[in-house]
Amino acid sequence: MIQEVISATKLIDFEGVSKTYQLGNQRIPALKGIDLTIESGDFIAIAGPSGSGKSTLLNLLALIDTPTSGDIRYNNIDVSTLSDDERTRYRNKEIGIVFQNYNLIPVLDALENVAFALQVQGVPTKECLKRAEKILREVGLGTHLHHRPANLSGGQKQRVAIARALVTNPSVVIADEPTAALDSKTGMEILELMKELNYTKNTTFIFSTHDNRIIDSVHHVVYIEDGFLMNRY
């Protein structure tokens, strides 16, 4: 593992993190003693063969799953000490999540989907909508504010999802194969958008991918194989 630029601050710290799934009486080790440090402002691709543990790692990073053993620290907070509500609030404020299949709420239009992430915080509706609209314009969907997910293309849906992840101004966006459901051209556009947002907002991005073109165009790639962190460059 190589040392990062000195100026960056430590955002996430994994220490000996393991995750073992229990399937009936079968134990499936998905992650094995991961040590990982992620710095604020990073743009990191996680690569590895299918079943290597990428999604498992990202779920732990996104605080939507808990490790079997090991420590996860966010901004030096041991997240295992947080209650479910505290963890949820932390996730809402600090972590944006983008899913492979967009996971937009079908009964809400683009604007409402984005505003939702603020509304659960109790931000007044007017302000939620204002901020949601601003971010949707930034991701290039200013003309589709009132389209419901069913009336948006895959690329547009993923833009809405990215806007939803960013509207709370999180420190990090975590995306599990955000381009996998898109054609390669649209996938590259989404990648460019993420790069741009990383650059302009200094938001940390961590995402997994199978796409070699994407891996080649990203500076930091973390390889994972069979639950082990192989190397990082």
Partner 1 sequence: MNYLQFAYRNILRHRRRSFVTIMTVCLGFVALGVLGGFLNNIFSRLKGQAVVAERFGHLTFAKKGFYQNGKLEPEKYLWNAKELETLLAVVRQNIDVELATPRLRMFGVTSNGKASTIFVTEAIVPEDDQKLIKTNVDGRSGIEGMVTFGARNRDNSSVIVGSELASMLKIKKGQNVTLLTSTKDGVANAVDVKISGDYNTGNPATNDKFILSDFSLAQNLYDTDGAERVIVTLKNPENIEIVKAQLIEELADAGLQVEAKTWDELSPSYKKVTTLFGIIFRVLTIIISVIVLLTVLNTMQMVVSERTKEIGTMRAIGMLRGQVIKLFCVEGLIMGVLGCLLAIPILFAIAGLLQVMGISFVPPVASVAVPLVMMFKIKNLLLVFALFSVVAIVSSFLVSRKIAAQQIVDSLSRG
Residues that bind Mg ion in the complex, under the rule CB under 5 A: 55
- Among ligand ATP, Mg ion, partner 1, none, residue 217 binds (CB under 5-8 Å by kind): none
Q: Which does 150 bind (CB under 5 to 8 A by kind): ligand ATP, Mg ion, partner 1, none?
A: none
Q: Which does 164 bind (CB under 5 to 8 A by kind): partner 1, Mg ion, ligand ATP, none?
A: partner 1
Point out which span in 109-117, 135-143, 202-210, 215-223 binds partner 1 (CB under 8 A): 109-117
Distance CA 115, CA 134 (A): 11
CA atoms within 13 A on the CB side of 223: 10
- For the bound state, the minimum distance from the C-beta of residue 17 to Mg ion, rounded and expressed in Å, comes to 17
Dig out the tokens for 84 from the structure: 């479910």
Rounded to 5°, angle at Cα 39 from 14 and 229: 40
* Distance between CA atoms of residues 179 and 112, nearest Å: 23
Examine residue 117 and tell whether it contacts partner 1 (CB under 8 A). Answer: yes
Cα gap 223→233, rounded to integer Å: 9
Site string for ligand ATP, 26-55 (x = CB under 6 A): --x-x-----------------x-xxxxxx
* Residue from the set 8, 64, 123, 145 that interacts with partner 1 by CB under 8 A: 64
* Residue choice 9, 15, 49, 65 for contact with partner 1 (CB under 8 A): 65
Pick from 161, 177, 183, 169: which is nearest to 215 by CA? 177
Token representation of residue 197: 């947002």
State which H helix or E strand residue 23 sits in.
Answer: strand 10-23
Q: Which does 159 bind (CB under 5 to 8 A by kind): Mg ion, partner 1, ligand ATP, none?
A: none
From the number of C-beta atoms within 10 Å of its C-beta (0-12, 13-18, 19+), residue 141 rates as buried
Q: Does 180 bind ligand ATP (CB under 6 A)?
A: no
What is the C-alpha separation between 203 and 188, in angstroms, rounded?
Answer: 19
* Residue ranges binding ligand ATP (CB under 6 A): 21, 23, 28, 30, 48, 50-56
Instruction: Give me the residues that bind partner 1 (CB under 8 A), please.
Output: 59, 62, 64-66, 84-85, 88-89, 91-93, 97, 99, 103, 105-108, 112, 115-117, 119-121, 125, 164, 168
